[in-house]
Structure 1
Amino acid sequence: MTAAAPGAAAPGAPGAEAPALEALRRSAARRTGWLLALVAIVLLLCVASVVIGARTVGLGEIVGALQGSSETVGEGAVLKRLPRTVLAVLVGAALAVAGTAMQAVTRNPLAEPGIMGVSSGAALAVVASISFLGAHRPFALMGIAIAGAAFAAVFVYTVGSLGSGGPTPYKLALAGAASAAAFISLTNAIMLPRVDLLRTFQFWRVGSVGGATWESIAVALPFLAVGALICVWTARGMNSLALGDSLAAGLGEHVMRTRALAACGAVILCGAATAVAGPIGFVGLLVPHLCRTLIGPDHRWLIPCSALAGAVLLLGADVLGRVIARPEEVEVGVVTAFLGAPFLIWIVRRQRVREL
Structure 2
Amino acid sequence: MSDAQRGATYLGISLGPVDPSVAAVRDGKVIAYAEEERFLRNKHAEGAYPIRSLKHCLAEAGVTISEVAAVGIGWDLAAYTDGTMAAFYAGLSEESGERPDRGTLDWQARTLATYDRGAQETFHRRHWRREFGDVEFPPLHASPHHFTHAFQAAMESPFETAVTLTADGSGDRQTTMLWVKRGSELTPLREIRIPHSLGWFYAAFTEYLGFTAYDGEYKVMGLAAHGSPDAELQKLVGQVLPVAGDGIEYRLDPRYVHHGEHSYSARFTDRLPELLGAAPRRPGDPVTAWHTDLAFAVQHALEEAACRLVRWAVAETGIRNVCVG
Normalised by the shorter chain, which TM-score bucket?
under 0.3
TM-score where L is the length of structure 2 = 0.27
The higher relative CO (CA closer than 8 Å, separation ≥ 6) is in 1
TM-score where L is the length of structure 1 = 0.25
> Is the radius of gyration larger for structure 1 or structure 2?
1
Higher strand share: 2
